[in-house]
């Protein structure tokens, strides 16, 4: 979904999870008219039902991440293997972190993308993500030499996962 509204014109819901995974793909198997099975390197296994509104978009994101050996962000219920959404990731460097908004949300500007993105304090990944974002802002990283892998919920411009590039550390998600 590339706008802040669902296809019916209502605001798109925020990601519910309860699990949020930023990881590379171990395997992706698509079966005609039966959907697909995605296995990430952390061992989690996810089912995508064909015929759903976002299936083609999620399948294309998975195929691109698999082809480029990039990380992929998955939100859903890990224990059941149900996928809420799959998002591409971007390699970014922080330009500026604006002070907290009245609701505690931070506004983050990255070098390159022409938009403000938001980090919400009520998310489980908040503390680790804020630390990585602050480190990036003072690191000297640039648009041509980013230091973070970031997943952004395009419906809300929300930062939903952050991980250092070339790091064995788990993602902030």
Domains defined along the chain, listed by start: 19-89 (2.40.50.50), 90-164 (2.40.50.340)
Dihedrals phi, psi of 61, to nearest 5 degrees: -65, -40
Round to whole Å and give the CA distance between 20 and 146. 23
**Which of 107, 110, 88 has its CA nearest to residue 99?**
107
Residue 99, pLDDT score: 77
Round to whole Å and give the CA distance between 81 and 21. 12
pLDDT confidence of 113, banded at 50, 70, 90? low
Number of C-beta neighbours around residue 1 at 10 A: 16
In tens, the pLDDT along 22-31 reads 999 999 999 8
**Lowest model confidence (mean pLDDT) among 53-57, 59-63, 165-169:** 165-169
- Quote the mean pLDDT of the chain: 88
pLDDT confidence of 134, banded at 50, 70, 90? very high
For residues 96 and 106, the answer to whether their CB atoms sit within 8 Å is no
Concatenated DSSP letters for 38-105?
EEETTS-EEEE-TTSTTHHHHHHHHHHHHHHT-EEEEEEETTTTEEEEEEEEEEE-EEEEEPPPTTSP
In tens, the pLDDT along 84-110 reads 999 999 999 999 999 788 888 999 999
User: Taking 50 as the threshold, does the pLDDT of residue 1 lie above it?
Assistant: no
């Amino acid at each position: 979904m590339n706008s802040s509204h669902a296809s019916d014109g209502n605001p798109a819901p925020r990601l519910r999870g309860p699990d949020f995974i930023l990881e590379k793909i171990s395997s992706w198997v698509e079966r005609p008219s039966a959907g697909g099975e995605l296995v990430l390197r952390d061992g989690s296994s996810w089912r995508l039902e064909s015929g759903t509104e976002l299936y083609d978009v999620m399948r294309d994101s998975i195929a691109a991440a698999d082809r480029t050996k990039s990380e992929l962000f998955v939100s859903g219920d890990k224990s059941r293997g149900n996928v809420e959404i799959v998002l591409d990731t971007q390699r970014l460097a922080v330009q500026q972190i604006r002070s907290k908004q009245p609701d505690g949300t931070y506004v983050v500007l990255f070098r390159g993308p022409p938009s403000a993105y938001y980090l919400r304090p009520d998310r489980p990944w908040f503390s680790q993500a804020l630390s990585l974002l602050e480190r990036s802002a003072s690191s000297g990283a640039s648009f041509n030499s980013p230091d973070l892998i970031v997943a952004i919920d395009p419906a809300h411009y929300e930062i939903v996962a952050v991980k250092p590039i070339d790091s064995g550390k788990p993602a902030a998600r």
